[in-house]
Amino acid sequence: MSTIGMALPGLVQCLPRLSRPLRLTMSARLRPLLIVLLAVGCLVGGYGLGVRSATNAAPSISGLSAADQQAFRVVWETLAQIERDYYRHNELDPQKLADGAARGLVEAVGDPYTRLLDPARAERAQNELRGRFEGIGAQLDTRDGKVRVVAPLRGSPAEQAGLRAGDVIAAIDDVDAAHVSLGEAVRKLRGQAGTSVQLSVRRDGSADPLVLTITRAEVRVASVEGRLLDGGSAPLGYVRISMFAEPTAQQLRDQLSALLAEGARGVVLDIRANPGGYLSSAVDVTSAFVRDGVVLYQQRGPDASARKTYRANGSAQAPDVPLVVLVDGGSASAAEIVAAALRDNQRAVLVGQKTFGKGTVQEQHTLSDASQLRVTVAQWLTPSGQAIQGQGLVPDVDVAPVDGRDAILEAGVDVLSRSVGGHG
């Protein structure tokens, strides 16, 4: 399964086998470090756009070139010297040293999207893309330096325990939330299903905190939400996609069926603040609105002959319904693919602000310790051949944000209403 940043299936062999052993003493405890280090340096192919999911056997280490052999000799020498000379060498932790060596390799690449995720982070990321995670199920935000509840998810442990939108989290398991970042708060609230977390919350400005004990559970998240809007002369459908996860395409089709049955004459597709997801999901979502046409090109190098073409899959559900797509600076990767494909195929007008500009392809590999290596291997291009990396998409209708109202949505509804009116 590809995620946004995937690449063509294939094999890239990068580190051949050593032609002769290096005569350096090294304890058996530290010997695995080099194996991990070299294994991380080898790539095995994957899918196609941003990040693609692939579980591969550990790559073999064939022979190093003379230059690589000399370069990696330094790694052997460093490990051997640390093991021999460090005054507390019995306290050395091989796993920490291995992690540091692997991360150093990744960081030295100098690419922000070539990353190494530890097993816990990798599992969280995969679960989110599958549309589920373990935790209390509450959307959080920060305002005035305070962690607040945007809303508990429907049917979640947070909702069942009585957590409400607007609650200010004062403490998490007796840890003062005033000193906790939003990311740290999310990490503290997530955890294994069946475990509990205690929250102290302040509600409606009350000085006395309310204490809630919430038992974590598996939470399933809908990546698509829809509702009917008043379009003036005709009702309009509004569909919000928060990320391109495994169930997104089917959830979109369910929402479209309901909205069209209710009489929606046009659709506002909102992909603002959408960080991306699976390539297959982006292609399927585009295909719901396009009968045929190119969705994107993926290119591994400067040679255009190396391009792979992704087309609509022939399952159009609403190919003639007037469509407006809302975008902003948080629309990235798969979201940009969908926006560009719908515009280039003359299916939609883009309304909002310039998008993020994430257009490289990552292959995703599960390593032997369940960590995940994501390596940038290619870039993707819009159907018109435009590169997105570092550029982003400029909307057809640029709308500045306005405090207190959703100016981008208002502008999108206005554009769509005029289009629907023109279609009689």
Catalytic residues: 333, 344, 358
- Torsions phi, psi of 299, nearest 5? -130, 125
DSSP code of residue 177: G
Sign of CA dihedral 129, 110, 337, 351: positive
| Secondary structure class of 290 (helix, strand, coil) | coil
Cβ(334)–Cβ(360) below 8 Å: no
Q: Which residues of 306-337 are buried (b: 16+ CB within 10 A; e: fewer)?
A: ebbebbbbeebebeebbbbbbbbeebbbbbbb
Does an H or E element contain 212, and which?
strand 210-215
Cβ(362)–Cβ(114) below 8 Å: yes
Distance separating alpha carbons of residues 288 and 34, to the nearest angstrom: 48
Sign of CA dihedral 292, 295, 300, 301: positive
Distance separating alpha carbons of residues 109 and 88, to the nearest angstrom: 31
DSSP code of residue 256: H
The strand ranges marked E within 231-383 are 235-241, 267-270, 294-299, 307-311, 323-327, 349-352, 360-366, 372-381
Per-residue tokens: 104: 């150093």
Per-residue tokens: 73: 């000799």
Distance separating alpha carbons of residues 424 and 419, to the nearest angstrom: 9
Distance separating alpha carbons of residues 172 and 375, to the nearest angstrom: 36
Per-residue tokens: 222: 């809908």
Provide the terminal-to-terminal Cα distance of the chain, rounded to the nearest Å: 42
| Secondary structure class of 399 (helix, strand, coil) | coil
DSSP code of residue 277: B
C-alpha closest to that of 242 among 225, 259, 258: 225
